[in-house]
Amino acid sequence: MERFRERVVLVTGAAQGIGFSIAERFAAEGAHVALADIREAELARAERSLTGRGFSAAGYPLDVSVPEQVDQTVAAVVGKHGAIHILANNAGIAWEEPFVDIGDDRWRKMIDVNLNGMFYVAQRVARHMKARGGGVIINMASTNGLAGEAKYAHYNASKGAVVLLTKTMAIELGAGGIRVNAVCPGYIQTPMSEAIDDPAFVARYIDAHIPLGRVGQPSDISGIFAFLASDDAAFVHGACIVADGGQLA
């Protein structure tokens, strides 16, 4: 399929994990993909991986928590391709810490990336989309934005805010032809999750919490992004799509 032929897709946090899977999925369906990430070496590898297979992709070093860098990246992508049709607003961080031990700097870092960065990128891209008459924005939220989890107070707070940011964006931007939705993954096996949890913990977690009996893979999420960006989701707006193997059930 080439559902996104000649479409320009900006993917933040695209160097690895879910972000790379999202970029790969859109590229495979014909899109021009702008890969944005703070990790420059990994970003370069991701770009080579896609272009080496004949896909259209270019990397843009970006710290989403710095508004000036966001401005520059959006301008560079629009300058190169003429438009951003789809934003996969994915960049984020996570780590485990007891609530009473969270330092002020660690709290600020989580909010700066997961919430402020999400806002900066979405706002700048939305301004462009509004001027050109529409587009699609998909924010990466989490089941942790819908239900709490111990030792993730800063992460939970950031993702809960993304859920309501998404709904407010949908209310305000829909009339301008901009569809806005969020994806709320559960436990997905990524380099970030592997750095936090050992295999024994993961096995216990599956037994205790996930009815499907497995953790998710990045491809389980990238397919949802592709659906939400497609014409098949033309009437899906302001939604938070949960993909968690039945955990919240």
Question: Which token pair is 62?
Answer: 């970006």
Q: Which one of 60, 152, 155, 187 is the catalytic residue?
A: 155
- Could you confirm whether 155 is annotated as catalytic? yes
- Please report, for residues 94, 161, 180, 248, the alpha-carbon distance to residue 118 in angstroms, rounded to integers and kept in the order given: 14, 10, 13, 24
Instruction: Specify the DSSP element, H or E, that contains 86.
Output: strand 86-89
Exposure string over 95-122, b if 16+ CB within 10 A, otherwise e: eebeeeebeeeeeeebbbbbbbbbbbbb
CB atoms within 10 A of CB 218: 21
Place of tokens 């160097």: 15
Computed on alpha carbons and rounded to an integer, the radius of gyration of the chain in Å comes to 17
CA dihedral 87, 148, 202, 141 (to 10 degrees): 0
Active site residue ranges: 155
